[in-house]
Amino acid sequence: MPIFVRLFYKQIIINTFMKIVFATNNQHKLKEVKNLAGHGFEIAGLNDIGCAEDIAETGETLEENALIKASFIKERFDLDCFADDTGLEIEALDGKPGVYSARYAGPENDFRKNIAKVLNELRAEENRKARFRTVIALRIEDETHYFEGIVEGRIIDEMRGQAGFGYDPVFLPNGFDQTFAEMNLEQKNRISHRARATAKLIEFLKNKLA
């Protein structure tokens, strides 16, 4: 990597401004996190740093997968980086799909098929309790830190809403009558698992820069 690019991403312009990489090519996730971070941070995705690698998520836990992705960027590009992994954990399915949420119905990561599989497995279940759990792994300087966000809810019988991504159309958070896919980004960011984990990350980074 050219030295000026490396310096660009590692530079702290003032003590409340940081450039950092979010190890994702998912534009929905990137947009969510940028909105949550607000002023003081410039967050680059993998496309922004010229990383076209398909980073294999071979871990058996959310923590392991998040660390694999963050460590890949830190070690390959020498850039401070964070990465996340999220799982839908359904009580009646003993916590599945969990770490395999994105490829629950197959390696192609087709969420319509994933949702169809979940709904089929819950067809005869009265217990629809579920939660989304996000784990963020941060590699910064020589340190590694983890941040977790959880939102409780339940799985409904059919898809509702056009926004969001993944299992959002069938996840109804507790205390709400809209699925994540029926909420706009601002509404979702107030309560989502990723929002809660990211808030902890941003608070940590702000304190580190203070």
User: Strand, helix or coil at 104?
Assistant: coil
Structure tokens of 153? Answer: 């809810």
CA-to-CA distance for 183 and 99, rounded, in angstroms?
Answer: 25
Domain with residues 3-209, CATH architecture: Alpha-Beta Complex (3.90)
Closest CA to 23 of 1, 64, 2, 54: 54
Average pLDDT over residues 28-51: 87
- At residue 16, the pLDDT reads 52
Q: Is 168 a residue of the active site?
A: no
Structure tokens of 181? Answer: 């896919």
Instruction: Name the residue type at position 23.
Output: A
pLDDT in tens, 134-150: 999 999 989 999 999 99
What is the model's pTM? 0.86
User: Domains of the chain: which residue ranges?
Assistant: 3-209
Which is catalytic among the residues 54, 85, 157, 177?
85
CA-based diameter of the chain, in Å? 59
| Helices (H), ranges, 42-132 | 62-77, 111-121
